[in-house]
Structure 1
Amino acid sequence: MRHTLPAVLATFLLLAGCASAPAPAVAQTAGPPLSEECAAFRFHPVAVWVDAEVIRPGDTAPLRAGSTLGRASGVVAPEPMPMTCLSDWRITPAGAAQVSADGATLTVSPDAPAGAALTLEARTPGEPARYQTRIVGRDEIVLTGRYSQVEVDCGGAELPARPIRELVFGPTGRFSVTWQPFETYTDYWGEFVWDAAAGRLALTITGGNRHPGANARLEGTVEVEADGRLVLNGFNLGDVLNGGAPCRYVFGKT
């Protein structure tokens, strides 16, 4: 399995510091002198994220930050930044969560509203950083996570030529499918709508390097088993010779 950032990282937003852009929510006013390790990130674009697949009321989860300057030269992951280099945290909704004094963890209030968008903003040695995710209900079942195909049954029709090694569902309604993962490569991606009460899932492709084809079936039912496995029924996710026959996929969490 390749080493990637949590599915949650797919949702972070970088605030641009150019003159034509709106003023950032976190002003970069002069602060105390930077330590040597923080000064190394001066003027860098910075990503910040919660290192957890989902966050629920009452949860405490690690916070991470890193410079994304290297992406211009092909570096995949952000260069880790000490959390003590971030300051002036702002959280929306107010009171929904709290960042620890050392910036290492985020604790969500037990009374935080389920379903609300949680936004974190911070001052950094470089550009201001902003991250947004969704607060998940205490007992809410979610698809969020990274999965790998365990088995597939197409009812006697031709089976997919290759298993899906990576199926990712993000906390903000994004998904991706990859047959052969390599660094940040993804075959196709898009948005998903899951009706947990009805057990139905609909995928909408918005882009990709390899489209699954016109015969793909992107709507069906989904079951979340007690061990975390996903069972998708009625789908055809591509890479098959069976003309789009509905299949039953079983995915294990990775």
Structure 2
Amino acid sequence: MLRLLCIASGVLALTAASPAAAQDAEPCDQQAFGEHSIRIETVAARPGARLSVTAVRFDGPFGGKDVSLRCLTAWRVTPSRAARLSRDRTTLIIDQNAAPGTVITLEARVGATITRGSVTVVGSADPSVLGRWRRSCGEAPDVAAIATILIERDRYFLYDFEGRQWSGSYDFDPHSRTIAFGPHVLPPPPESRLEGTASVDTEARLTLEGVYFGDPWQRPAGRDCPMVFSRAG
């Protein structure tokens, strides 16, 4: 009986182990396989900013996996005068005097594999639409608002509409603040308007004027709800 209890306890412990713990336990030579990159938090890289850093790898069709910190060595930040890494290697700290336009490259090794990521410094007052944003206009059935929109550094965007997703490329002009979404990977919902202007206010809210992501079920989809998003995460 005691033996059965011990076995049952062991099974429960195994099933309770988190995916992150299992990933962290994977040998470093295995984590060196696949394509690698360093993911830097998707927010504006302004002087003095602190951006979270994660090394990821892609070794199949199931998306990226975090690389364990214990497997990363030979960290390097270039140029070193423009930024530095936190002691725990999880945060990129932009120098207060970093000049706008400076490209900061972060590099590390996973075994013999080199992994990199980069950001471009923007001015303290320069407009930026980067980030994950959330829009909410209530629960009424004719309000079906978009849950989130992700705007990445590499001109890639993705928006989630009640679990259905559309993605593609975008263009943003920080001087005129004009923004255009597309082309899309898949055709966008009918009645979508994909060009307008974008601005971020002092309360970190993104407003899209003239842009409207149509409802895939052709409902009103919140026509009376402004395209205003708050930062999500």
**Normalising by structure 1, what TM-score?**
0.64
Q: Partners in 2 of 1:58 and 1:161 — Cα distance?
A: 39
1:130 Cα shift?
Answer: 1.5
TM-score by length of 2: 0.69
Match of 1:251 among 224, 229, 232: 229
Unaligned 5+ segments in structure 1 are 1-34, 153-158
Greater per-residue helix proportion: 2
Aligned residues: CA RMSD = 3.3
Aligned equivalents of 2:227, 2:42: Cα separation in 1 = 25
Within a 5 Å distance, the mapping from 1:1-254 to structure 2 comes to 37-51=27-41, 53-69=43-59, 71-72=60-61, 74=62, 76-82=63-69, 84-93=70-79, 95-100=81-86, 102-125=88-111, 127-151=113-137, 162-181=144-163, 186-195=165-174, 197-198=175-176, 200-213=177-190, 215-239=191-215, 240=218, 248-254=226-232
Task: Count how many residue pairs are aligned between Structure 1 and Structure 2.
Answer: 202
d(CA) in 2 for partners of 1:176, 1:140: 23
Deviations 1:156-199 (A, max 9, x none): xxx97732111122234332222133xxx73132112133x54x
Distance 2:88 2:213 in 1: 44
Q: In terms of Rg, which structure is larger?
A: 2
Aligned counterparts of 1:134 and 1:49: Cα–Cα separation in 2: 14
Equivalent-residue separation in structure 2 for 1:235 and 1:60 (angstroms): 31
Note the C-alpha offset of 1:53: 2.3
Q: Structure 1 pair 234/247, CA: closer, same or farther in 2 (3 Å)?
A: farther
Shift of 1:94: 5.1
C-alpha change, 1:43 and 1:97, in structure 2 (3 Å) is same
Give the Cα separation in 2 of the matches to 1:247 and 1:220: 16
Deviations 1:127-173 (A, max 9, x none): 32121222232233422111222349xxxxxx977321111222343
Q: Distance in 2 between matches of 1:208 and 1:36?
A: 34
Q: What SS is found at the alignment partner of 2:28? A: helix
CA distance in 2, matches of 1:52, 1:235: 22
- For 1:58, the aligned partner's letter is G
Contact 2:38 2:55 in 1 (8 A): yes
